[in-house]
Chains A and B, each alone.
Chain A
Amino acid sequence: MKGVRHYPGFLPLTILCLVVLYTPLIVVAVYSFNASTSITSWGGFSLRWYGEVFTGREAARFGQAAWNSITIALMAATTATVIATAAALAMVRGGPFRGRQASFALINLPLMVPEIVIAVATLIFFSTIGLRTGYLTILLAHITFCIPFAYLPIAARLEGIEGTYEQAARDLYATRAQAFRLILLPLMMPGVISGWLLAFIISLDDFIITNFVKGAGMETLPTAIFGSVKQGIKPNIMAISTLMLLVSVLFVTAAYLINRKGRQSP
C-alpha cells in the first residue's frame, strides 16, 4: 500500500513530459557549441557561433532587433504593470460594484482572444486611424496584451494581503497616501515585480502580433529570427536561441525566488 496519492505509471509519464519539453531545447543548446559549419555533423566544441552573433555579418541586424525588443519590452512591461497595479487595487480593494465582472472580463480579454485575431484587429485599427506601423505601434500593441499577464500575479498577491494592515496604518495616524506608500505597496511589491517580469518576457517573446504591426524594415528579435529561419536554420540562430533561452531561465528563476521570498515574509 503506497497511499492514495500514488498512481503507478504517473512517474514515467512525468519524465516523458519533461523529456518532450526539454529535448529540443537541449539539442539546440548543444549544437550551438558545434565547431562545424554544417549544422548536421558534430565538429567539436567551439564558441565561434557566439562570436558570430556579436561580430558576424548579421550582427548589426540582430543587434538592432535586440535593442528594439529590449526597449519595447522595458516600456511595455512598465506601462502595463502600472496600469495593472491600478486595476488590481480597484478590483481587489473596491468591494462589490456594478461592472466589476465586466471589468474582469475586459482585463483578461487579451488572454481569451486568439493572438492572430488580435494581430489582425490591431493592424486594421492602426491602418484606419492612419498610424504608420513601426516602433510605436508595436509598443502600443505590447502594452495592451501585457496587461493581463501583469495583472494576474499582482491581483493574486493583493488578495492575500488583509485589509486590516491598511486599517492599522490609518489607525496609527497615517493618511491614505502614507498607508499606501508605507504599508500596501511594500507588501504587494513581490506581486508587482513578478507581474513586471512576466510582462517583460511576454513582450520579448511575442511574434505573431509584432509581425503584423511592425511595418517594413522594423524588426524585433523574434521577427528577425523568423525571417532568418525561413532561409534555413543556421548555427548563429542556435546561438541566439540559446542566449534567449538563458534570459528566460534567469527571469523565471528571479520570479520564482521573489515569489518564494514574498510568501515567507507576511
Chain B
Amino acid sequence: MAGPGRGTGSGDATYRALVRPLLIPSWLVIGILMVLPVALMAVYSFLTKEFRGGVIWDFTLAAYDQFFLDRGLFGDEPPRIEWTYITIFWRSIWQAVLATLLCLLIGFPTAWFIATRPARTRGIWLFLVTIPYWVNLLIRTVSLRFLLRDQGPMNEALMSLGLISSPISIINTNLAVQIGLFYSYLPFMVLPIYAAVERYNFALSEAAADLYASRWATLREIVLPVVKPGIIAGCILVFIPSLGAFLAPDLLGGAKTFMIGSLIDEQFRGSQGNWPFGAAVAMILMTLVLIVLLVYARAQGRAPR
C-alpha cells in the first residue's frame, strides 16, 4: 500500500489533474489550423507578390507601402498619402458603427420586452428572434436583395399603395449596404442583451421608482449601467462582423460601396490577385478588431462584479 496520501491520489485534485490534458486536442486543432495560419498571414504581408497570384519569398514592405502611400502610376513620384484604401476602411468603419447603433436602437427595446414577458410566453418570443440567427446568412442577404430590387416586392407594394409613383433605387447604394448589415446582425445584438436583462434584478427599478426616479430616469441611471456588459457584448458582436462583412456589400452594394471584405476578397481572385497586399489588408483589419477587443476587455476588467 502506498504511503499516506502522498504520491498516490484518489481525490478531486487527482480528478482535476486527469481531465486537464483533454484540452490538448483543441489546442492542437486551433493552434495548427488558426493561430499558425494567422502568423503565416502576417509573414505573407511582407512578401513580394507574384503576377500569377501567389508569392515570392523576398521580404518587402511593398504591400503596406501600397496601402498607405501613392507614388504615382509608375512609382517614381514623391510619395503622397494614398486615399483609396483609407477611404474604404473609413467607409467600412462608418457603416459598421451605424449598423451597431441602429441594431442597439431596435435590439435593446426588443431584448427588454422579451425578457419582461411572463415565463410562459417568453420562450416563444425568444424562439422567434433566434430563428433568423441560425438561418443561412447568404440566404437572408439574397432574400433582402430580392425584396429591395427596383422591380421587387417592396417597390411594387409601395407603388400599388400609391405612396410612390416610380420605384426607389436602393440596391447598389450605401443605404442598401447599411440595411443589409443591420438586418444581418440584428439578432447578435438582441441575444446578449436579453441574457443581461433576464438576470437584471427588477427590485432595483422598484427601488429607483420608490426614490422618485421616473421611468426614463430609471432606465438611464439604473438599468443601462447594470446591463451594460450585455450591451457592450452585443455591440462587439455586431461591430466586428459588420467591419469585415462580405456578403451584404457584395450582394446589395456596388462599386461605390466597396468595403474591406470585398477589397480583401479581390486580392485572392484569379491571376489579378495580390496575396501580400490581401494579407496586409487582413492584418490591418485584424489590428483594428484587436484594438476594439482590448478596449472591451479593459472595460470588462474595470466593471464591478
What A residues does B113 contact at CB under 8 A? 7, 10-11, 13-14
Contact A237 B142 (CB under 8 A): yes
A222 contacts the other chain (CB 8 A)? yes
Q: Give the B interface residue count (CB, 8 A).
A: 92
Contact B106 A20 (CB under 8 A): yes
A225 and B26 contacting across the interface, CB-CB below 8 Å: no
**Which B residues, 188 to 240, have Cβ-Cβ distances below 8 Å to chain A?**
190, 202, 205-206, 208-209, 215, 218-219, 240
Q: Does A187 belong to the interface (CB within 8 Å)?
A: no
Q: In the complex where A93-B19, A106-B30, A116-B246 touch, is A21 in contact with B186 (Cβ < 8 A)?
A: yes
Instruction: Tell me if A's interface is mostly helix, strand, loop or mixed.
Output: helix
Contact for B109 among A5, A9, A93, CB less than 8 A: A9
Return chain B residues, CB-CB under 8 Å to A51: none
Residues in chain B within 8 A of chain A (CB atoms): 12-13, 15-16, 18-23, 25-27, 29-31, 33-38, 40-41, 44, 54, 106-107, 109-110, 112-114, 116, 123, 125, 127-132, 134-140, 142-147, 151-153, 156, 182-183, 186-187, 190, 202, 205-206, 208-209, 215, 218-219, 240-241, 243-244, 246-247, 251, 260-261, 264-265, 268, 275, 278-279, 282, 285-286, 289, 293
- Which partner residue on chain A sits nearest B179 by CB separation? A20
Which of A22, A109, A207 is B34 in contact with, Cβ under 8 Å? A109
Partner of A116, one of B110, B129, B285: B285
Q: How far is the CA of A24 from the CA of B218 in the complex (A)?
A: 36
Q: Min CB distance, B52 to chain A, in Å?
A: 13
Among B38, B139, B152, the most chain A Cβ lie within 10 Å of the Cβ of B139
**CA–CA, A214 to B19, complex, Å?**
36
In the complex, the answer to whether B40 meets A110 with C-beta atoms within 8 Å is no
For the complex, what is the distance from the CA of A31 to the CA of B156, rounded to whole Å? 14
Chain B residues near A253: list those with CB within 8 A: 127
Q: Which of chain A's residues have a CB closer than 8 A to the CB of B131? A: 248-249, 252
> A47 interface residue, CB < 8 Å from B?
no
Residue from the list B107, B240, B282 in contact with A121, Cβ < 8 A: B282
Verify A83–B137 contact, CB threshold 8 A. Answer: no
A77 within 8 A of B: no
Task: Check A21–B187 contact: CB distance below 8 A.
Answer: yes
Least distance between A114 CB and chain B CB atoms (Å): 3
A183–B129 CA distance with the chains assembled, in angstroms: 34
